[in-house]
Amino acid sequence: MSATDPGRLGIGVVGAGRVGAPLASALRSAGHAVVGASGSSPATLERIESLLPAVPVLDVPEVVRRSELVLLTVPDDDLPGVVGGLAATGAWQAGQLVVHTAGRFGWQVLEPARAAGAIPLAIHPAMTFTGTSLDIQRLVGAVFAVTAPTPVLPIGQALVVEVGGEPVVVAEESRALYHAALAHGANHLVVLVAQAAQALAAAGIERPGRTLEHLLVAALDGALRTEQLDPPRDEVEGGPGAISALTGPVVRGDVGTVRGHLDVLGSLDVASAADIASSYRVLARSATSRALAAGRIGPDAAAALLDVLEAPSAPAVGPGLDRPGLAGLDDAGLGRTEPGDARPGRAEPGDPHPDRPSTPPSPGEPA
């Protein structure tokens, strides 16, 4: 920390791309000084000039040498090599804060820096970045996953609060699952919108995005609101959460409509649309099992839906359970029950699985 202004830090950015430049700009607005940034691609240099005016562009070792806090915003796959390479050259300094923003890693990826006396912090903003000034405003209210050794955890939390974010502590061993959940929710939501829009275009709708907008915004708002209102849960049990907001043919048990959807989606005569029917089938099966577990539909309705949603080429699995969907939900009350057990069981929830930008990042930029 600066001797003239305790609490203010000299910050250096290694990889001032989509994430690094806006985040460093926000920290500068909070009163810290940005003493240097690295990057060589035209896009990165443009971001430094726009978001970090007057900040010198330096090579990575010089950025680290000048900094009290080093902000590592490089692609996830590059992070271990960058940290290890700097350690091999003796670049890390005792007492220096080293912060990375990679979602999948906790603080232990920074062990080579910690071994040199640096303080490791993993701080991941749960948001997408455009690499523009819009991101600085969107940091306010955003959730940040903070992972660090317990004694220095408050430092990471304080940095998040300074940029207007909400710090949430994520255990080291949970970072990969945390990041997979975000990727599944955000990235695959984009794919779902693209598929729905393509089907609407095939139906003759001129502005698919406009047609979807009100419906999808309301559906997402309802799902997020009910998920937040639901009681805390562990890995398996808990209230129905977002499934309370589920509408449509599955929760109505409308087998004929689901069958019709599969027919028309499967008949789309466009090669790029070949994945839509299979995605619908998988998601509708998940909706069925979760609606059953949440008590939104009964076992008979779920069995009828899963029969329709069966993949056409799937082999039989046994008498009375000749659909893998029914066999998979045997414990959910659709198959055998233990003697004396009058309650249908609970279906296991489906597997949740950085948010890569829509255009590939330039070399050295964060993914």
State the sign of the Cα–Cα–Cα–Cα dihedral 257, 258, 262, 263: negative
Expressed in percent and rounded to 5, the helix, strand and coil fractions of the chain are 50, 10, 40
Q: Are both 23 and 153 inside the same structural domain? A: yes
Backbone φ and ψ of 40, nearest 5°: -130, -20
**Do 184 and 296 have their domain in common?**
yes
Question: Same structural domain for residues 29 and 117?
Answer: yes
Let me know whether 190 and 125 are in one domain: no
Q: Read off the tokens for 7.
A: 């609490």
Residues with Cβ within 8 Å of residue 42, at least 6 apart in sequence: 362
In angstroms, rounded to a whole number, what is the distance separating the alpha carbons of residues 231 and 168? 18
**Distances, alpha carbon 129 to alpha carbons 142, 146, 174, 246, 351, in Å:** 12, 18, 23, 29, 26
Q: Is the residue at 151 inside a domain?
A: yes
Residue 267, token pair as written in the block: 């008949």
What's the domain range around 301?
178-332
Residue 345 lies in a domain: no
Burial class (CB in 10 A: 0-12, 13-18, 19+), 100: buried
Classify residue 354: in a domain, yes or no.
no
**Does 3 fall in a domain?**
no
Q: What is the CATH number of the domain that holds 103?
A: 3.40.50.720
> Do both 183 and 280 map to the same domain?
yes
User: CA geometry: angle at 355 spanning 349 and 357, to 5°?
Assistant: 140
Rounded CA separation 280/19 (Å): 33
**By the 8 A CB rule, do 133 and 22 touch?**
yes
In a domain, 362, yes or no: no
Are residues 136 and 186 both part of a single domain? no
> 195 and 285: one domain?
yes
Query: Is 21 in the same domain as 167?
Result: yes
Clarify whether residues 147 and 200 are in a common domain: no
* pTM (2 d.p.): 0.79
Inside any domain, residue 324: yes
φ and ψ of 184, to 5 deg = -60, -45
Short-list 254, 263, 293, 294, CA closest to 281: 263
From first to last of its 367 residues, the chain has per-residue pLDDT tens of 333 344 799 999 999 999 999 999 999 999 999 999 999 999 999 999 999 999 999 999 999 999 999 999 999 999 999 999 999 999 999 999 999 999 999 999 999 999 999 999 999 999 999 999 999 999 999 999 999 999 999 999 999 999 999 999 999 999 999 999 999 999 999 999 999 999 999 999 999 999 999 999 999 999 999 988 865 455 555 567 899 999 999 999 999 999 999 999 999 988 999 999 999 999 999 999 999 999 999 999 999 999 999 987 644 433 333 444 444 443 333 332 233 333 233 333 333 333 333 333 333 333 3
Residue 366 counted as domain residue = no
Q: How many domains does the chain have?
A: 2
Do 170 and 183 belong together in one domain?
no
Question: Residue 160 domain-assigned?
Answer: yes
